[in-house]
Structure 1
């Protein structure tokens, strides 16, 4: 499968509630550490959904790398951000990024981290290309999202909107003053959605920048942030460290993939 273009990101939506035979097949793809993490899940449903999410991630990344999904290996940053191990994929040396609370926000993150800017690609199967492959995984309830980008870092987050959560208190604790005031002023469910929208944006930012979740977001370009509409009852967001102009989305169905949909950016 071709890598994402320099001005786009790919998003895969995954249904995690799979039949037993599908789960068995995905379990065979997992590495020892993933199987151990699945084993530690308290509830069987949690274990099955974790297995499905990790297996789907391997399946998706295999399409881009041309590597068998069970042969993929992952490394993590000190904060736990995953990346593909060399030689399959590597964002060279980008373990330290600019403080998101600083005046520039995400703008200039890659230049401060020493990431190389590529004006052209050497072919989808070349090592030079795959070293720029980046991805992010998030799952909540029965849905997972997998974001894939090239020559930019990407972070994605999805959350089921919890009707029992005290969203006003959470907004005061985790969001900026203006968003917290809006979440408190609006009636439910609008105020609740304000909180979850703000929260998923911050989670996606933290995943892309490999940093603590910031209270205030400062984005230098609107094309760094995308609000995703996945299904009713959820909020989701995607953040990149370089502007992208379009998203292409798929529904993961094992070896079968649907026609992608392009979403040009607009606000």
Structure 2
């Protein structure tokens, strides 16, 4: 690796390293003054290693990622399917506009009491709320992407006598791949945020619940370790989506 490439690779990490260093200094200074509400990142790193060694880190991470993935899958399938229908049919878009605009602003966390009554604690309750949260952005973005397709492509599909299914898979989906992955990346971020929020608020499982237990146990180092780990997981998932987008675009011959 040349010096220039090494510098370009290291440059994005400069600010995070400075931020961590500043927080380390501030937390140690606060601890010296008698405050026990903050822990330096070095203590959080030790707590992280302990959670990784005893297995609690992986168990909670697996639960959160599993429920977030299931909720995203359900919300994405429904959102993309309905977005295609509303994008291709002006009449359907007009019929569904009022319902969408009424339901879309409802905060997903406001459904926690209802979901608890219907599903109780556990996977199903969290999956239902994540699916509701991810459904709306995917629906709106897919509908908008379909409506911006070059009209001549749709005219060609009608001339060729393609069925609705063939039109969707051979014309529409390839045309919206870049914007579809933007919608999916947004959905992934929403799914992780909502899953952790549900675990903090109501569900006694996952990374959000583990962070709450650390807070209630007056263990700021472990709480900070969980907070940092959630950020790392989100970063890794987003990086994976970017790579998947580039791979799918190359296979389909589409510019990402």
Say yes or no: TM over 0.5. no
The structure that has the greater radius of gyration is 2
Higher strand fraction: Structure 1 or Structure 2? 1
> Of the two structures, which has the highest relative contact order with CA contacts closer than 8 Å and spacing of 6 or more?
2
Higher helix fraction: Structure 1 or Structure 2? 2
Normalising by structure 1, we get a TM-score of: 0.25
